[in-house]
Structure 1
């Protein structure tokens, strides 16, 4: 489930870890948890964030929670900069990793509603001859299978080192060259297997159909209509986080020190995970999506038609994940990982929404489970 719901580099080599050490100096230790939320008195959400810092060793955690009435509260724990001890900015910007996939999927489904893209057309209809390899043939993979991770296309992420993430700019075709060196995982449509390669291709289809960059289409079709002023798709060469933000940290194993990886080149994630946002903006985005403000009813229904993610109880639609709630029902969102940040959250059909970010990708799956428990608590309290 961990690998099926986030963007992260897997199986980095020892050489990559040495490269990280050479690029960052000093050993950084996580701080004690903060004593109070950014707004209001301590509650179960605040206690959950404090535990993520105190017990799980995360540098910082920050959250935004919206109830059915629209009342929103923000929370922080830990520190935003381990070197200086600076506070975590309330609702600071973070890299949102694979939450980007939902933005990309919304644009693609808007084009479906406009009659410009057919979900059941093959990929070659839009990108002729591009998708080829060992067991890989774009003539037998549909757009729907890309969006739902049932294409069988291999994942590229584990073949890119930490040092390359920091400094190298990738074109989408560079990413596909890496992916298509490897054999297909299974025949198209046979099952679900998460692969960011799918969303690189969705981004290219959007660009082919519209004649415009995916960043511009996301901005014009999603960010501007919803007024998401703190969300953006970084431009080529933009390695920084533009507004107030907690620093992001990286380590390959729990035995290693945390090292600053805030500045990196996110182009390796592109339409699958390049964007920057805030918890509050993500809440607004997912709530608006479920409320039908971004897609016609037919396309939203398609988006919410899921396949099982293993035996987790979660389901993957077209760029949208449903997860069960302990208090009954489900919530809809995505989640994302990119070196330095992990995000989890989503919204319910009755208007509740919560998103939480932490400032390192946990090396222990149990810590991510704790993070998801805090999301559940926030939505069920």
Structure 2
């Protein structure tokens, strides 16, 4: 007969092990691929502990996994870098937020005496979004895929159309705003916006895998391939000239480097607290955009700020809580999806886990 102690021990040994709790980061990665992404890599930080997960493949017709440290195009997440440089110039009294753009770039914009730097940053200028006139969808991408676009040519496309509303009256997301801000940075500093991003942000933070490619069409180093549907088939569009995005979405990075950026931003290492407060404050309660940053309150009540990004073949997420203790960065290599809702669903699942 077993005594009490041996009975307890034997029972414990024979009992089936409790199922391990699902890893929410890995689950989010798998669900993103199920929603249509070719591959995904996620980096999540909570209270100093880092978790990574990947799902899908880095290249169709192969079993090669997605690298958790691979590079990718970050699309509109570039806007947060440009906005940070602009706010640094504001702190240096070289640019004023509520000064008309006409003072810095005379003759560039219609009603430029009414459009302020703040309006460009918060997408309330009324400027037409030039990308509505350059189709990057489907087979149309091939027409412009390797074409060089100067900032002046992109702004000219926008200013050939009337303003969509009186400056400052409402919000409407327009890539034109950030192309103009890139030109403003160059006028204020004498250097291209990418040089200022590199000097002021990338080098100090040790973001060695991040670059502003200009007309370079290839993604350097290890990277997952991005795809887009063309004529009913998925075409590899990893190579393209990103000058069509310019200061609104040209950059290349990694989840590790993007984590350095949002962490430093939240910690006040890049922009003085008062100006960071303006970056993270929407113009109204109904808007979710500050100055170069998207603001979101997750379902668990934790507010986060950062930016999503989209460019043919790639989708990006880089968000942090205000205290910097919870952060998430992700790259989605696109196939036949997922839709925009997947970005926010991923943010919510990881931040609230």
Q: Distance in 2 between matches of 1:105 and 1:361?
A: 30
Call closer, same or farther: CA 1:265–1:98 in 2, change over 3 Å: same
Alignment of 1:216-365 (within 5 A): 216-235=195-214, 237-251=215-229, 256-308=232-284, 315-350=288-323, 351-360=325-334, 363=337, 365=339
Q: Distance in 2 between matches of 1:85 and 1:355?
A: 24
CA distance in 1, matches of 2:55, 2:284: 34
Q: Secondary structure at the match of 2:163?
A: coil
Shift of 1:372: 1.8
Q: Deviations over 1:245-279 (max 9, x none)?
A: 10011126xx9322100000000111110000111
1:74 aligns with 2:83: no
Distance 1:42 1:227, change over 3 A: farther
Shift in Å, 1:41: 9.3
The separation in 2 between residues aligned to 1:158 and 1:140, in whole angstroms, is: 24
In the alignment, what sits opposite 2:344? Answer: 372
Ranges of 4+ aligned residues in structure 1 off by more than 3 Å: 361-365
Separation in structure 2 between the aligned mates of residue 41 and residue 249 of structure 1, nearest angstrom: 33
Shift of 1:42: 5.8
Whole-angstrom distance in 1 between the partners of 2:117 and 2:221: 35
| 2:4 corresponds to | none
Find the counterpart in structure 2 of residue 139 from structure 1: 113
TM-score with structure 2 setting the length: 0.89
The one of 30, 33, 36 equivalent to 1:50 is 30
Q: Give the direction of change, closer, same or farther, for the CA distance of 1:251–1:158 in structure 2 (3 Å limit).
A: farther
**Structure 1 alignment gaps of length 5 or more:** 1-39
**1:213-241 alpha-carbon deviations (Å, 9 max, x no partner):** 11110000011111111111113x20011
**Take 2:82 and 2:327, find their aligned partners in 1: how far apart are those partners?**
20
CA RMSD of aligned residues (A): 1.9
1:308, CA displacement in angstroms? 4.7
Distance in 2, matches of 1:361 and 1:262, equals 12
Report the Cα distance in structure 1 between the residues aligned to 2:198 and 2:272, rounded to whole angstroms.
19
Separation in structure 2 between the aligned mates of residue 102 and residue 164 of structure 1, nearest angstrom: 29
Query: Are the equivalent residues in 2 in contact too, given 1:356–1:375 (CA < 8 A)?
Result: no
**Aligned equivalents of 1:267 and 1:198: distance in 2?**
15
> Paired residue for 2:77?
99
Q: CA 1:93/1:291 → structure 2, altered by over 3 Å: closer, same or farther?
A: same
Q: How many residue pairs end up in the alignment?
A: 328
Question: Structure 1 residue 362: deviation in Å?
Answer: 5.7
SS in 2 for 1:322: strand
Alpha-carbon shift at residue 84 of structure 1 (Å): 3.2
Go from structure 1 to structure 2 and tell me whether the alpha carbon gap of 1:222 and 1:326 turns closer, same or farther (over 3 Å shift): same
Q: Which has the larger radius of gyration?
A: 2
Say if 1:165 and 1:73 are closer, same or farther in 2 by CA, change over 3 A.
farther
Whole-angstrom distance in 2 between the partners of 1:318 and 1:331: 14
